[in-house]
Amino acid sequence: MQRLTALDPETTSGRSKDLFTAIQGKLGMVPNMMRTMGNSPAVLNGYLSFNAALGEGVLGAKLGELIALTVANANSCEYCNAAHSFIGEKLVHIDPTAIADAREGRSADAKTQAALDFSKILVKKRGLVSDADVNALKNAGYTDAGIAEIIAHVALNVLTNYFNNAAKVTVDFPEVELVETAVI
């Protein structure tokens, strides 16, 4: 059972209502995670702002979704695994094979693989990566801006994974089985 209340966008007022209205306008719905984050307008606004800022970065939506899938499976987050599988396929138009591979922290593309490997290392080492870990990304062709954004994508996804796992947010996307091989 969900531990925190998912607010009803129809009956919510104040800042959360304003944020829900904006989300509804963009997505056509207000997902349960955001409805639950809405208990604190500061949390919801922070999440939305961070997500929007990364959307303007150099990495692009496809790599952001693949990182989200790798991190969700590493953190055993059923909600994010389902949400990013759906978003990746239906909104970002990522090939289903690439989505399945990302759940396992794998990619057929060497540069993407380097980003997913680094994402798993970040989660496993809790950010305490080595020079060699960072140099592997540089050798794969990532700039300092790209590396900074990979770190930020992982951090954003750790936030949502922890939020969903702690609050036991009810999954409102088509469920997808977590991949144990991605667990670190």
* Residue-level pLDDT at 107: 98
Residue whose pair of structure tokens reads 């949390």 in the numeric block: 43
Distances (CA, A) of 69 to 62, 73, 132, 143: 11, 6, 24, 22
* Residue-level pLDDT at 65: 98
Per DSSP, the chain holds a count of helices (H) and strands (E) of 9, 0
| Residue 113: burial class (beta carbons within 10 Å; 0-12, 13-18, 19+) | middle
* Residue-level pLDDT at 80: 98
Nearest-CA neighbor of 106 among 67, 56, 138? 67
The CATH number of the structural domain formed by 61-182 is 1.20.1290.10
Q: Where in the chain is the domain with CATH 1.20.1290.10?
A: 61-182
Nearest-CA neighbor of 33 among 157, 154, 183, 126? 157
* Residue-level pLDDT at 12: 97
Give the distance from CA 155 to its chain's centroid.
Answer: 9
* Residue-level pLDDT at 93: 97
pLDDT values of the chain reduced to their tens digit, one per residue, 184 residues: 999 999 999 999 999 999 999 999 999 999 999 999 999 999 999 999 999 999 999 999 999 999 999 999 999 999 999 999 999 999 999 999 999 999 999 999 999 999 999 999 999 999 999 999 999 999 999 999 999 999 999 999 999 999 999 999 999 999 999 997 655 5
Question: What is the identity of the amino acid at 77?
Answer: C
CA pair distance 171, 82, nearest whole angstrom: 7
